[in-house]
Amino acid sequence: MCGRAGRPRYDPYGEAVLIAKTVEQSHMLFENYLLGEPEDVVSKLGNERVLRAHVLALIATNTANTRSAILDFLRRTFYAHQRGDQGMEEAVDNIVRFLWEEGMVRCPGTEMLALEPHADLRATFFGRRVSDLYVDPMSAVKLRDALLAYVPGEKTLGFLHAVCSTPDMLNLYLKRDDLDKLTEVVLERKEEMLFMVPDMETPDYEYFLAEVKTALVLDSWISEKDEEDMHRAYGTGPGDIHSKVEIGEWLLYSMREMSNIFNKDCYPILTKLMTRMRYGVREDILELVELKGVGRVRARSLQKKGFTNWERIKESDVHAIASVTGIGDTLAERIKRQVDPDFVPSKTARPRPKKEEATPVRIEPDEEPKKGQTKLLDF
């Protein structure tokens, strides 16, 4: 996919630029992209996960409020043009039933009419919120159940597992030696879980462990583990980690928003957890990573030098802040301005003293140096 015309009525065509590093590569790009056959476009609306979200959106926006109206709308889609409407009616019936049973849609007046073809369907507050958040309704059910199961206590892994148990998170695969390791983790941290652990003899147990493995990757990220250590432990590369982190933050945000409906006690907990996910930090430096220009490495360096919060930084001299590894004079002044609006850099202030450099002493060689490369690393 190279691109498309972005603005209706204003952009009659889309533009794409191909850059070749060699003449041979330019020929390849010309043959494949300019002279090649266009690839077929296939609608994904037949995927039940995609269709669930669209059916809920039709009801939530009052675009279609009966099952027959929903079917009429879907019959005019590209999917119906491409594949026909075979099986569509059954799929819509199952989805409407699911949304009704989970409390996302209702039928004003008589609830029993909700499954009739012409019953007037309306989205509940829960249903509208799920549609606004763009999450799969099945994911919303998982997150809701986790919120309802929460009891006070340390539940970090439980929240992360709840996020990883949703269809919106693509979980990691299990390896041969993962079973025993993950089972041990589940036994050690069982009190943190928000969902019941399936029986070890059932197929659901392996799916559960795959969710736990993905949750442990997120847990390692917010515990400031090194990416190399995470790769050795879970076999994940930097791209996989950041993909999971991005989806994890979005689902934690969705869970936090739903906590306003189902369990308000979880709101502040999920707010902190969401920020930790964004920056990949422990809770003790959350205040520091909110500073512009300060990531998790610099925040940890500041914390180790005693700059544990904004108040300590405000009270400190700018040169002391600049002396922290990875900060420097320019960033120190920017940090100081953020915590102290009245801070004015002093032009007459003495700069940090530089270390005295020893005067180089020239040593005359006893013999004429050899010419050419004499060591492996002398490049």
Q: What is the pLDDT along the chain (379 residues), one digit of tens a residue?
A: 566 666 667 777 777 888 899 999 999 998 988 888 888 888 888 888 889 999 999 999 999 998 889 999 999 999 888 888 888 888 998 999 999 999 999 987 666 556 677 788 899 999 999 999 999 999 999 999 999 999 999 899 999 999 999 999 999 999 888 889 999 999 999 999 999 999 988 889 999 999 999 999 999 999 999 888 999 889 888 888 999 999 999 999 999 999 999 999 999 999 999 999 999 999 988 888 888 988 888 998 998 888 888 888 888 888 888 888 888 888 888 888 888 887 777 654 455 555 555 566 555 555 555 555 444 334 3
Q: Which CATH number fits domain 287-339: 3.90.180.10, 1.10.150.20, 3.40.50.1980, 3.40.50.740?
A: 1.10.150.20
Whole-model pTM?
Answer: 0.79
Contact between residue 56 and residue 45 where contact means Cβ atoms under 8 Å apart: no
CATH 1.20.1050.10 fits 137-279, yes or no: no
Looking up tokens 């589940």 gives 186
Could you give the CA distance from residue 323 to residue 321 in angstroms, rounded to a whole number? 5
Asked if residues 256 and 275 have their Cβ atoms less than 8 Å apart, the reply is no
Token digits of residue 377: 């690393």
The domain over range 48-133 is classified in CATH as 1.25.40.10: no
d(CA 330, CA 102): 55
Helix (H, G, I), strand (E, B) or coil at 302: helix
State the Cα–Cα distance between residues 204 and 211, nearest whole angstrom. Answer: 11
Query: What is the crossing angle of helices 156-164 and 238-262, to 10°?
Result: 100
The pair of three-digit structure tokens given for residue 371, joined into one six-digit string: 């010419």
Alpha-carbon separation of residue 278 from 131, 172, 214, 244 (angstroms): 23, 20, 16, 11
Domain boundaries, the chain: 1-37, 48-133, 137-279, 287-339
